[in-house]
């Protein structure tokens, strides 16, 4: 059995439940058998290593631990995991990837080695880095990782010339989107999407979908709405399915702001750029709330604003094998965009898979100018 692969499966169960902490899985193995395992609990509760050690009890002595991220060695909301591992008599620790957090960053490994515990690093490193990409990004930049998701036809249209967009892709593709929502801390749309589609922005998993741990709170539903035009009767304000944050500018009419607040929205005035809520300020506020993994499901205008501000980090593009046509039909990303093709922004670490009749292309957006090219500002 691949014990690190099992630890990664456990870590996935914590996605969307433990931010701003990383989602970690740990497995304890003795004589070739799993004697304890666990994953990170919500902030302030036990880390994956402690859950696994508790499950193993005295069987942890002499066992080997497989853990997806370097154990912490500092006092935060909980005591250091390294001390618990040492005290339990674990003989070896296999780590998928070091923790870049400055108060750990190799120091956890050193603490274990000083205690005489054998440490190996690197098994399934790529998978571990992808699983906690949002945490690594947050440690590096201080802002959430933003995944831009859209569904388009084979000719690049997200809606027809009449703005009809239901549905571009198949139920199988939409099911995959809900799985991504389930891993996210917040889902962002613009007021145009709300007025056109009245979305719920809830997580709707189906029987047979891999289940993560219960959520302490649903993903934040976020609307950027400069003039507070969101109707108080909007579905997400009526369904009682979790928090709704509406970011407005200082020019939003007071009566509309009051009506949204009375309908249950948390209305948040924020600085504006060209008359619209500043995406960077919105992300900074979400980070203060502990959201580090954000799903952007916006229309072309807001998608373009995030791109123009260099605030898209990852792309999930669902492509349906059908044609729409129409010069006025919408494409996924508006905004100012790139002036010259040689400066187009590349996706890296690209993967492509088929979901039902549709194709999902995923990749990380590289903001480095292409070799021999010029900057995006050209």
Is the residue at 375 inside a domain? no
CB 211 within 8 Å of CB 238: no
CB 163 within 8 Å of CB 202: no
Q: What HEC string does the chain produce?
A: CCHHHHHHHHHHCCCCCCCCCCCCEEEEEECCEEEEEEECCCCCCCCHHHHHHHHHHHHHCCCEEEECCCCCCCCCCCCCHHHHHHHHCCCEEEECCCCCCCCCCCHHHHHHHHCCCEEEECCCHHHHHHHCHHHHHHHHHCCCEEEEEEEEECCCCCECCCCCCCCCCCHHHHHHHHHHHHHCCEEEEEHHHHHHHCCCCCCCCCCCCCCCCCCCCCCEEEEECCCCCCCCCCHHHHCCCCCEEEEECCCCCHHHHHHHHHCCCEEEECCEECCEECHHHHHHHHHHCCCCEEEECCCHHHHHHHHHCCCCCEEEEEEECCCCCCCCCECCCCCCCCCCHHHCCCEEEEEEEEECCEEEEEEEECCCCCCCCCCCCC
Task: Band the pLDDT of 370: cuts 50, 70, 90.
Answer: very low
Section 135-160 average pLDDT: 96
Section 239-256 average pLDDT: 96
* Spatial CA neighbour of 65 closest among 107, 98, 25, 115: 25
Task: Band the pLDDT of 30: cuts 50, 70, 90.
Answer: very high
Is the residue at 371 inside a domain? no
Which tokens sit at 198?
């009245």
Section 342-349 average pLDDT: 93
189 and 336 part of one domain: yes
In this structure, the number of other CB atoms found within 10 A of the CB of residue 263 comes to 18
Which one of the listed residues 37, 49, 180, 297 is annotated catalytic? 49
Domain boundary residue, one of 74, 106, 131: 131
Task: Return the minimum-mean-pLDDT range out of 180-184, 208-212, 215-219, 314-318.
Answer: 208-212
In this structure, the number of other CB atoms found within 10 A of the CB of residue 238 comes to 14
74 and 216 part of one domain: no
334 and 210 part of one domain: yes
213 and 249 part of one domain: yes
Domain boundary residue, one of 99, 131, 163: 131
148 and 127 part of one domain: no
pLDDT at residue 368 greater than cutoff 90: no
**pLDDT score recorded for residue 372:** 42
* Residues 6+ positions from 162 with CB-CB distance below 8 Å: none
**pLDDT score recorded for residue 213:** 93
Query: What does the alpha-carbon distance between residue 340 and residue 260 come to, in Å, rounded to a whole number?
Result: 42
pLDDT at residue 374 greater than cutoff 70: no
Query: What does the alpha-carbon distance between residue 10 and residue 40 come to, in Å, rounded to a whole number?
Result: 9
Task: Return the minimum-mean-pLDDT range out of 36-40, 132-136, 162-166, 206-210.
Answer: 206-210
Is the residue at 378 inside a domain? no
- How many domains does the chain divide into? 2
pLDDT at residue 376 greater than cutoff 70: no
Task: Band the pLDDT of 210: cuts 50, 70, 90.
Answer: confident
Is the residue at 78 inside a domain? yes
**Cα separations (Å) of 129 from 100, 134, 291, 312?**
11, 9, 18, 18
Section 15-28 average pLDDT: 97
* Residues 6+ positions from 18 with CB-CB distance below 8 Å: 40, 41, 42, 43
Query: What does the alpha-carbon distance between residue 247 and residue 286 come to, in Å, rounded to a whole number?
Result: 11
Can you name the residues that pair with 358 across neighbouring β-strands? Answer: 355
123 and 148 part of one domain: no
Is the residue at 372 inside a domain? no
* Residues 6+ positions from 164 with CB-CB distance below 8 Å: none
Which tokens sit at 77?
């909301």
Please give the mean pLDDT across all residues of the chain: 94
**pLDDT score recorded for residue 74:** 81
Task: Band the pLDDT of 77: cuts 50, 70, 90.
Answer: confident
Is the residue at 189 inside a domain? yes
Section 6-13 average pLDDT: 97
Task: Band the pLDDT of 75: cuts 50, 70, 90.
Answer: confident
Which CATH number characterizes residue 329's domain? 3.40.430.10
Domain boundary residue, one of 83, 99, 131: 131
121 and 152 part of one domain: no
* Residues 6+ positions from 80 with CB-CB distance below 8 Å: 71, 72, 73, 74, 108, 111
Which CATH number characterizes residue 29's domain? 3.40.140.10
**Cα separations (Å) of 241 from 173, 236, 263?**
23, 7, 13
**pLDDT score recorded for residue 245:** 98
124 and 151 part of one domain: no
Section 37-50 average pLDDT: 96
Provide the domain limits for residue 126: 3-131
**pLDDT score recorded for residue 79:** 86
Is the residue at 370 inside a domain? no
pLDDT at residue 285 greater than cutoff 60: yes
181 and 251 part of one domain: yes
User: Sign of torsion, CA 214 42 200 316?
Assistant: negative
242 and 356 part of one domain: yes
Section 257-271 average pLDDT: 97
Residue with tokens 């948390």: 266
Is the residue at 215 inside a domain? yes
pLDDT at residue 371 greater than cutoff 80: no
- Active-site residue flag, 266: no
What percent of the chain stands above pLDDT 90?
87
313 and 187 part of one domain: yes
Query: What does the alpha-carbon distance between residue 368 and residue 365 come to, in Å, rounded to a whole number?
Result: 9
23 and 95 part of one domain: yes
Q: End-to-end distance of the chain based on CA atoms, in angstroms? A: 52
Task: Band the pLDDT of 76: cuts 50, 70, 90.
Answer: confident
């Amino acid at each position: 059995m691949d014990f690190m692969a099992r630890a990664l499966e456990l870590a996935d169960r914590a996605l969307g439940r433990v931010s701003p902490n990383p989602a970690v899985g740990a497995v304890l193995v003795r004589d070739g058998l799993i004697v304890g395992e666990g994953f990170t609990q919500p902030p302030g509760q036990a880390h994956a290593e402690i859950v696994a050690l508790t499950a193993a009890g005295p069987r942890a002595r002499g066992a080997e631990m497989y853990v997806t991220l370097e154990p912490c060695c500092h006092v935060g909301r909980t005591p250091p995991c390294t001390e618990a591992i040492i005290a339990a008599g674990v003989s070896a620790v296999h780590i998928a990837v070091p923790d870049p957090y400055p108060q750990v960053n190799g120091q956890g490994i050193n603490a274990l080695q000083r205690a005489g515990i054998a440490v190996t690093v690197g098994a399934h490193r790529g998978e571990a880095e992808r699983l906690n990409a949002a945490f690594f990004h947050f440690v590096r930049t201080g802002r959430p990782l933003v995944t831009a998701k859209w569904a388009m036809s084979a000719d690049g249209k997200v809606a027809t010339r009449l703005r009809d967009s239901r549905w571009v892709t198949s139920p199988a593709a939409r099911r995959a989107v809900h799985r991504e929502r389930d891993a996210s801390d917040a889902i962002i749309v613009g007021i145009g999407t709300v007025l056109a589609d009245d979305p719920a922005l809830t997580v709707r998993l189906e029987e047979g979908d891999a289940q993560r741990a219960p959520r302490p709170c649903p993903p934040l539903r976020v609307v950027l709405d400069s003039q507070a035009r969101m109707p108080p009767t909007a579905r997400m304000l009526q369904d009682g399915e979790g928090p709704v944050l509406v970011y407005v500018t200082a020019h939003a009419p007071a009566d509309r702001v009051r009506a949204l607040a009375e309908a249950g929205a948390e209305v948040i005035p924020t600085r504006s750029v060209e008359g619209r809520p500043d995406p960077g300020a919105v992300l900074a506020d979400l980070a203060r709330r502990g959201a580090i993994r954000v799903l952007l499901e916006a229309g072309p205008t807001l998608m373009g604003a995030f791109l123009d501000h260099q605030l898209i980090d990852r792309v999930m593009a669902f492509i349906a094998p059908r044609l729409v046509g129409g010069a006025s039909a919408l494409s996924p990303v508006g905004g100012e965009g790139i002036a010259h093709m040689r400066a187009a922004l590349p996706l890296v670490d690209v993967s492509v898979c088929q979901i039902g009749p549709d194709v999902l292309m995923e990749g990380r957006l590289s903001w480095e100018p292409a070799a021999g090219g010029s900057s995006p500002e050209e």
